[in-house]
Structure formats: C-alpha cells, structure tokens
Amino acid sequence: MDIDYEILQFFLYKKIIKKKEMDTIYAECKKQNIPADRYLVSHNICSEVGVLDALGEYYAMPYVEMDMLEVDKDLLKIFNLQLLRKNKFVPIHIDINGVLIVATGHPMDFAGLSVVSAFYTGEVSFILVPPSQIDNFIDAEAAIRSTAVALEDLNSTNDKAEDENKSKVENITDEEHDAVNAPAVRLVNSIIKEAVPFRASDIHIEPSERTVRIRYRIDGQLTDRAKFPIESYPAISARLKILSGMNIAERRLPQDGRINMTINGSEYDFRVSTLPTVHGEKFVIRVLDKSAFNLKRAELGFTKESNILVDKMLARPHGIILMSGPTGCGKSTTLYTFLREVNSPNVNIVTVEDPVEYTMLGINQTQVNTKANLTFASVLRSIMRQDPDIIMIGEIRDEETAQIAIRAAITGHLVFSTIHTNDAPGVLTRLTDMGVSSYLVADALIGVISQRLVKRLCPACKKRGKTNARETAMLGFREPISIYRPKGCQFCNNTGYRGRIAVHEIMLLNENIRNAMVENIPVEQLREVVKANGMVPLWENCRDYVLKGITSIQELMALYME
C-alpha cells in the first residue's frame, strides 16, 4: 500500500471524501502522477485549508498561516526562488537548537523536500502552510529582488554616464540608446509587478529636485518603497508613457493612459495619470485586479441582517438601488456582484461605465467617451431605446443623468448606480441638489447601500489592551474592556494593519421613510427617521468588528467623525 492510498484512507476516515469516490480518486492520482492532496484541491473536492488541516493531523505537523511566520531574510538569500517555487517550501529560520524550520505546502512531495538536505545537513522540522500563501510570499520576495537589481543597474548606468563625455548626443546609435534605457525598462516593469504581491491599490512616482520617490498605497496608507536619482527620470517617464499609450512629447498637460498586464497568471489593469509639477511629471498608477470584481456576495462583508435587506432590494422588479461612498471604497465591485446575481437569459442588462472595469458574460456594456460626446446622459437616452430590463450606470454625476435614471426606475426598469454621499440618508439631499424632485426620488428609490473600507488588524502582531474612558463610552460600555490594537511587524510594513474589510449602512425604503422624504425634512431628521425604521449606521457595524478584533478603535473613530 503506497502513501497516496494511506492518505486517502485517512481522508475517508475524516469524511473529507466518500467511500465510493476513493478508488476513482486513487486511480486518477496514479494516472496523472500527482499526489493525492494536490488532486483533491485542483479538482475542487476539498479546499486547500481543509486538506492541509487533515495532513497536519496525519503527519503531526503544525498548520500555520504564512503571515504568522517571521522569515530570516539572510537565510532566504541562500536559496534560489525558482527552486522554492517549484518545490513549494520556504526556509523560515534556524532555532536556538540548530533546527532548520521550513514551511511547506506539499508535505507529500518527498523528492522536493529532500532538496532541503542539500542546503542544510542538520535537523530539519517542517510546518504546513497553504501553497497559495507560499506562492504569494515568493512573488513578493522576487519582486523585491527584481526592483533592487533594477535600481542598482540604473544607478550604475548613471555613474557610467557621468564619467563619459556626453556632449555628442546626436551620434548615439539606436542600439546604444536601448542599452542605456534597458535599466529603466527593467525598473518600470519591477515597480509595476512588485505592486501586486504587496497588495498596493496605487503606485505614486514623484520627482523632486534631486531624487524620484516611489510610494505604494497599501490598505489605504501610502508607504515609501524606493528612491532613485532624478537624472534617470526622463527614461522612466518615457517608458511609462510608451507602455500606457500616452504622447511621449507632451509634458505641459495632464494625460491619462492604461496598461494591461498578466502577472502570475492573473489579469491586471493599470490606470496611469500624469500631473505636471515644478520638478517634472508626477505619475499615479491605479492597480486593478480584474479577478477582484469576480466576487460572491459572501466575500463582500455583508452581515446576515444586511444580506436579508439586500435580498429584498434585488427581488424588486423596478426602481433604483444606489451605492454611496467615497472613491475607492469598492462600490463598483459590489455593483458587479449584484449584476451577476440578477443576470439571467430572460433579461436584457445594459451598462454605461467610465471606464468599463470588468467585462461580464451576457451583459451589454458601454464605455463613456467624452471626446466623442458619448456621456452618461447621451448613452442613457440611447439605452432607453434598447428595450432594457436592468440598467447599470457607473455614476450619477449631474442633473441630466440623475433625471434620466430616476425616470427609468419609475417607468418599469431596475436601475443600479453609484453616488458620492457621506451616508445613505444623504442621497436624498444630493439628488434634490441636482434638481430631482423629492417626490420622484421617494417614488423611484428602492434603497441605498453606503459602504466604507476599514483596515483589518494584522493577525500576526495585533495585541490586546484596555480601553480608556473615551473609548469605553464610544463602544457603549461603562467599564473598560479589552480590545485588540495595532502594533506593527514585518508582515504589515510596521503599520499594524493588513488588508481591508467592508462595512455597510443599508437604507431600505418603506412608507414612513418615503413620507419623510416627500416632506423635505432636514437630513438630520431624516437620518433619525431612517434609524427608527431599522437602519444600522456604518459606525455601529464597524463597532462590531472592533469587538470581534477584526479592526481597531482608531478606524471606528475615523468613521464616527465623518
């Protein structure tokens, strides 16, 4: 009996697989020459975490999240990253007893694990980590090394250029020009690719008098990444403009462009914008992971109570559902999720977006083009002649768009859109300020979902502490309680946070709320009416996350002060 069969028997005992499946799975493992654990995950028979939990019990290996491990970077430098990626292991550190601790994602790959012995002759101890987390760690390390090499090459090229007489620039050949710019090409590629494993939402490239600073926005916070001499900036700037389809000669006016790139098998869209400054053009690159738009509602952070309200909204045949919140809070992602839920072969769904961020099967998507006078309003007028059942408008920005959207909702269409307001009740004020009558808003509106993203506490370093008097009162207690606070470690760039989670405020309209809207009462009074009719404010949902140790009291305070 071989190890695959023994493992499958153990999985059968743990009720991970069924008895009637076992022989078929075993035969397929042998036929495809892959270990049983990988077969189960790749064929969606069991989750990665479920398999590793069982294997940890079988091999008596501890199961750990990669974020919880502190990797010795000096030890890591000894190993070739391609070797680590191929064999799915990462050396963590050598403990006080001289034991090498190694994280592995494939404990059944004995040939791969034997590679470790070629580097270390002492005792080795293995711990289990999800293979996907090992891949992410190696991707990040590879990006760091690539950027470091590119910066070194760029500095070396600049030093060489300073030592040579560059007065006869007109005699430089194309080959020599390419050779000089090659480090710039590599650095730009590294900067863009490194942003992905670092989970950056934006890349800032900012020239100053003597240097150029690169910063990543991670979990809503800008973090310094690298600096290089200003002398290299023309080549960097030119490379970015070429990649994003901009006019390379235009330096006086702002420009917009985009880059499409596949990184580690996933498609990314990079939105590039320039802004002329006194020291040169500043670049900001928005990072969009196209797979991030393919989320299910369960992954969006809605509570059980919120999901019930959303179900009621989506069940309505006509009316308008609005998402509110600031730029970058995930409104588009949530709307795309709703569209997937209501999409079916017997409905005609049409969208107008600026830009189209994610293409969806079975949905007709139109992109705004202001240069061609293709605006939200003009597209909407055309859409109304296209026999739509469901309409999605990327954003309500002006009176004309608002009027058409509201009238479409009143005349039997289900409309989705986004709008910039601080909270759900503020939507009425925003729309009436645009010139829409309050009685039309009350008649057309199904509900409003206000959304924010708050930072998650880093699971590797968050620490408990007692609340002070102000915090105790804010959380609704009389006596101090123990809550988690940010600390900071290498895994969160010493910020204390890693990742973000959405909090929601849902206003589902009923007769009481509609009557209050028609009466044009002040928004403060409307807010009280809405709360009295069941709306849970944003800060209260965030409060629950604080008590559960998911986010910090500081994030709650920021939300409370809005």
Q: How many Å apart are CA 275 and CA 204, to the nearest integer? A: 11
pLDDT of residue 170: 40
Output the furthest CA–CA distance in the chain (Å, rounded).
Answer: 80
Closest by alpha carbon to 540, among 512, 560, 517, 511?
560
Give the CATH number of domain 3-134.
3.30.300.160
Closest by alpha carbon to 364, among 346, 388, 329?
388
Closest by alpha carbon to 502, among 448, 554, 476, 538?
538
Between vectors from CA 38 to CA 33 and to CA 41, what angle results, nearest 5°?
Answer: 135
- β-bridge mates for residue 280, sequence order: 277
Give DSSP secondary structure letters for 246-284.
--TT--SS--EEEEEEEETTEEEEEEEEEEEETTEEEEE
Task: Decide if 360 contacts 416 (C-beta within 8 A).
Answer: no
Phi, psi of 353 (to 5 degrees): -135, 160
> Taking the complete model, does pTM exceed 0.75, yes or no?
no
CATH class belonging to 182-289: alpha beta
Q: How many Å apart are CA 300 and CA 426, to the nearest integer? A: 23
DSSP type of residue 385? T
- Residue 493 zone, left/alpha/beta (φ > 0; ψ -120 to 50; rest): left
Q: How many Å apart are CA 149 and CA 138, to the nearest integer? A: 16
Residue type, 59: Y
Between vectors from CA 199 to CA 93 and to CA 237, what angle results, nearest 5°?
Answer: 115
pLDDT of residue 111: 66
Q: How many Å apart are CA 448 and CA 445, to the nearest integer? A: 8
Nearby residues of 536 by Cβ (< 8 Å), 6 or more positions away: 305, 306, 505, 506
| Residue 355: cis peptide before it, omega within 30 degrees of 0 | yes
Task: Decide if 293 contacts 432 (C-beta within 8 A).
Answer: no
Instruction: Judge if 182-289 and 294-453+502-537 fold alike in CATH terms.
Output: no
Task: Decide if 408 contacts 393 (C-beta within 8 A).
Answer: no
Domain boundaries, the chain: 3-134, 182-289, 294-453+502-537
pLDDT of residue 180: 41
The b/e string for 113-135 (b: 16+ C-beta within 10 A; e otherwise) is: beebeeebeeebebbbbbbebbb
10 Å CB burial of residue 270 (0-12, 13-18, 19+) is: buried
Q: Which CATH entry fits the domain spanning 294-453+502-537: 3.40.50.300, 3.40.50.970, 1.10.150.120, 3.90.105.10?
A: 3.40.50.300
pLDDT of residue 110: 67
The tens place of each residue's pLDDT in the chain, 562 residues long, gives 577 788 888 888 888 888 888 888 888 888 888 888 888 887 778 777 788 888 888 888 888 888 778 888 888 888 888 888 888 889 999 988 888 998 988 777 766 667 777 778 888 888 888 888 888 888 888 878 877 777 777 666 555 544 444 443 344 344 434 434 577 788 898 899 889 888 899 999 999 999 999 999 998 889 898 888 888 899 889 999 999 999 999 999 999 999 998 887 788 999 999 999 999 999 999 998 877 777 888 888 898 999 999 999 999 999 999 999 988 888 989 999 999 999 999 999 999 998 888 888 899 999 998 888 898 889 999 999 999 999 999 999 899 999 999 999 999 999 999 999 888 999 988 999 999 999 999 999 999 999 999 999 988 789 999 999 999 999 999 999 999 999 887 778 788 898 899 999 999 999 999 999 999 888 889 999 999 998 999 999 999 999 999 999 999 998 877 6
